[in-house]
Amino acid sequence: MRSRRVRILIVEDEAIPAMLLEEMVEDLGFTVCGKAVSGPGAVMAAEDYRPDLVLMDIRLAQGTDGIDAAIEIRQRLGIPSLFMSAFSDQATMVRAQAAQPVGFVGKPYDDARLGAALTAALQGMGLAED
């Protein structure tokens, strides 16, 4: 068991997937400290909640972009993102590298894939248990 639960901000613009993702994250032993549906909303939520990690969808509501939001959150607050997306084309992946993500999990994902991606990301951040 973790001595301190890792706090995660979920940025997903589709309501049902966001609800299912929240349940998966909590079942994996993490705390969901907030949710957002757009890039600007993600930046505001990160400022308000100060999560350890942002689970960031790449294509968001209102035509906003998760990559741009992740870059701003990383630059302003030092909080890294783990990208989630059905879009894994080379151009998107190259753009995503500017955000210095701690990982990427393709959609659709399940508990096992999400758990593995979170564990790898947190190990890279020095927040995982040995």
Within-domain flag for 2: no
- Residue 14, SS3 per DSSP: coil
The token pair at 73 is: 């959150």
| Domain span at 73 | 7-125
Using a CB cutoff of 8 Å and minimum separation of 24, what contacts does 14-21 make?
21/55, 21/84, 21/114
Query: What pLDDT, in 10s, does the model give residues 113-125?
Result: 999 999 999 998 9
CATH number at residue 88: 3.40.50.2300
- Give me the percent of the chain exceeding a pLDDT of 70: 95
Given a contact cutoff of 8 angstroms between Cβ atoms, the answer to whether 14 and 21 are in contact is no
Q: What sign results for the dihedral spanned by CA atoms 68, 84, 45, 76?
A: negative
| pLDDT for the residue numbered 3 | 46
Whether pLDDT at 108 is above 50: yes
The answer to whether residue 57 is domain-embedded is yes
Answer yes or no: is 20 within a domain.
Answer: yes
User: Are 74 and 98 in contact, with CB atoms under 8 Å apart?
Assistant: no
pLDDT-based confidence at 66, cuts 50/70/90? very high
Q: What is the DSSP string of 51-107?
A: -SEEEEESB-GGG-BHHHHHHHHHHHH---EEEEES---HHHHHHHGGG--SEEEES
Total count of domains within the chain: 1
Q: What is the Cα 51 distance to its own chain's centre? A: 10
Share the mean pLDDT of the chain: 91
Q: Is residue 59 part of a domain?
A: yes
